[in-house]
Amino acid sequence: MNWRDYWNQDTPIYTGERHKLLHYRLVANDIIGLISSPDAIVLDYGCGEALCRQGGGQMCPALPERCRPLVRDRLKERFGSNPRITVVSTDDVSELPEASLDLIVVNSLVQYLSLDEFRSLLKLSRDKLKDSGRLILGDIIPPDISPLTDAKALLSFAWRGGFLRSAVAGLARTAFSDYRRIREEVGLAQYSEEEIVDLLSDAGFSPERAERNLGHNPARMTFVGRPVQDLDAEDATER
Ligand SMILES: C[S@@+](CC[C@H](N)C(=O)[O-])C[C@H]1O[C@@H](n2cnc3c(N)ncnc32)[C@H](O)[C@@H]1O
């Protein structure tokens, strides 16, 4: 099993319905906080089940192609009647018009990509964003973080959210689940701040680390990439 397949099922990562709901509500509120105009076109790339979506902007949640049987159908069922939300596969994103998006959010996904896949996603994002747009890379796992730190962040979230007992049980389940096995076999990509800054710069973004991470885990990092204008191209059109 790979990470894509792992995420296209009901995973024990969410330790219960309350955890899932509070997680997606927190992420949705963080994303809504990033939307600067009610007309903004927003792509939530690798959105998961995206249980909560409301607020400004045209939302476009994107799921991996192979998610069709489960997660994408659930999203279509949930949002199919909302004219401001279009569910697309991540493969369809390449068909979107160039320079058409105001905001692309990639939250808690980069750890599941190979370096080549990550670079391709950065290039795709650069192509699809308007010059005034922003790419948000959330929940990047730094190299020095241990699974224990993640567990502590989850327990603190669970304590505040009133699902501590199910979180403890869920952590125990995860420790013996496919997640641990795939993590050992395939690994999770971890990046330092400098590495993300370099990757974003190489892909044509001006990078900046956000003050706080999206979601519940303050030990992970969020970055904002703003497209760097192609001055050579601008000079050429002026000439
Ligand atoms: C931890 S979940 C994050 C979901 C959501 N973005 C959030 O913040 O809750 C990881 C997501 O990455 C997606 N994913 C995993 N591997 C992927 C890949 N190779 N390409 C695109 N998406 C992938 C999964 O479908 C899953 O929804």
pLDDT digits (tens, 9 = 90+) for 78-130: 777 777 788 888 888 999 999 999 999 999 999 999 999 999 999 999 999 99
Higher pLDDT, 104 or 8: 104
For residue 222, pLDDT over 70 is answered with: yes
Q: What is the pLDDT of residue 235?
A: 62
pTM of the model: 0.90
What single letter denotes the amino acid at residue 217? N
For residue 52, pLDDT over 90 is answered with: no
Ligand 1, atom 6, residue with closest C-alpha: 47
213 touches ligand 1 (CB under 6 Å):
no
Higher pLDDT, 239 or 30: 30
Q: Which long-range contacts (CB under 8 A, 24 or more apart) does 196-201 make?
A: 196/137, 196/140, 196/221, 196/223, 197/223, 199/118, 199/119, 199/122, 200/122, 200/135, 200/137, 200/225
Cα(231)–Cα(28) distance, rounded to whole angstroms? 35
What single letter denotes the amino acid at residue 155? L
How close is the Cα of 177 to the center of ligand 1, in Å?
A: 18
66-80, 159-173, 218-232: range with lowest mean pLDDT: 66-80
Ligand 1 pocket test: pick from 7, 89, 214 the residue with the most ligand atoms within 8 Å of its Cβ: 7
Residue 130 tokens read as 């308007």
105 touches ligand 1 (CB under 6 Å):
no
Of 227, 222, 231, the C-alpha closest to 126 is 227
Domains of the chain with bracketed CATH: 3-231 (3.40.50.150)
Burial tier of 109 (Cβ tally within 10 Å: 0-12, 13-18, 19+)? buried
Ligand 1 pocket test: pick from 26, 90, 94, 109 the residue with the most ligand atoms within 8 Å of its Cβ: 109
Q: What is the pLDDT of residue 75?
A: 77
For residue 69, pLDDT over 50 is answered with: no
7 touches ligand 1 (CB under 6 Å):
yes
Cα(17)–Cα(197) distance, rounded to whole angstroms? 36
Q: What is the pLDDT of residue 68?
A: 45
14 touches ligand 1 (CB under 6 Å):
no
What is residue 214's three-state secondary structure?
coil
